[in-house]
Amino acid sequence: MHDVTLFDPVKLGALLLSNRVVMPPLTRSRALPDGRPGPSARLYYAQRASAGLIVSEGTAISPEGVGNPDIPGLWNDKQVQAWKPVTDAVHNEGGAIVAQLWHTGRASHPTLQPEGKTPVGPSAIAISGLTFARDGRVPYVIPRPLETEEIPAIVHQYAQAAANARTAGFDGVELHAANGYLIDQFLQDSSNQRADRYGGSIENRARLLLEVVDAITNVVGAERVGVRLSPSSTFQDMADSDPTTLFSYVLDALASRALAYLHLVEPGIVGDDTVTGRRPADDIDSKWVRKNYAGRIIATGGYDRERALRAVTSGTVDAVAFGRAFIANPDLPVRLITKSPLNEAHRDTFYGGDDHGYLDYPSLAAERLLADLTEGRTEPEQGLQLNAQTPLEKWQLAWAQQQLITRA
């Protein structure tokens, strides 16, 4: 047993966390059409700055990396400038934030690609089922296999996006190598059937991951880089014929690079759903990773307060990420410390839409203000509304006043 708890500080490389409660990447599909974060992103992230670390929503490294409508990017200066108020707001609240770098690969659609081109992937193998495209749900398409000589340009795009993230004020970056997106597609042999230096053997299939990690660390420093993996997830048709050997190799290679952290998606999580039943790689959980990886570990997937406390106190992980709980509870660390009830997240507002389900989940302080307004202990402030322009120090009162009017 370790003498630490979920609420103690921890250092992950160069990242200093005030606690071990992490906000993981949460796609909310509210960015502007040109890939700039939406105007309400500043307040949304700042509301949650009490997290020990915020990992941004998946942020595309290039126009070709886009795989969902209304996601943000980090490939041009307009996007960089639009992220600066977000990172400034988090830092002003004492928080830390890293950008998750994302290329969706075959998990895209021509309606989301420049000039309607076919999405790229390691091999000409389509994902089964439907995806979210520009005009609704449509079948995935067969991707165009990347030519060997095209891959260095994608590695460079990752490195440039990492540099852009630092310019935008992010404290570091997290490489999205999970959940069936481009890096994961190259790693696992269900999607990678190449015959060049990026396919076949485990060493070859891991080559893109490691080239990208090295390119990013050369730009921002290994101590500011995390990597997200989901060895057990079958989301978007992911599977490998020998996952234990594959991820043993990957963990060894990442450990030698002394990164800030490894972000592990635990078994039982497929995309944004919790599932039951055994799958081929379900033995690759945080306990297995701890035995095979000496660096810092953030784990996500199915954690509640007690399970997270046990995982940190036992030394199995160094921090725990809570996804849906952070959507609905902007002050989640305080609620966990005080054992306060948690708000329920509303799935119908997860992706897209306006500020409903985005800015309007209350903190404990906001709930107390509502009680004070109701009982006449606090006076309302005329003209105050909860929206993208609301000052951070006023949002809780704005929420309370909005609720008072709604419930009248």
Enter the tokens of residue 375.
Answer: 């009982």
282-316 in b/e burial notation, b at 16+ Cβ within 10 A? eebbbebbbeebebbbbbbbebebeebbebbeeeb
| Count of other CB atoms within 10 angstroms of residue 89 | 21
CA distance 70 to 123: 26
From the list 45, 158, 181, 303, the catalytic residue is 181
Is 351 an annotated catalytic residue?
no
Q: For residues 183 and 119, what is the distance between their CA atoms, to the nearest angstrom?
A: 14
Q: Six-digit token pair at 142?
A: 């067969």
Q: Based on the number of CB atoms within 10 Å of its own CB, is 246 exposed (0-12), middle (13-18) or buried (19 or more)?
A: buried
Direct distance between the N- and C-terminal alpha carbons of the chain, in angstroms, rounded to an integer: 52
Dihedral pair phi/psi, residue 173, rounded to 5°: -140, 155
Q: Which residues of 329-350 are buried (b: 16+ CB within 10 A; e: fewer)?
A: bbbbbbbbeeeeeebebeeebb
Active-site residue list? 181
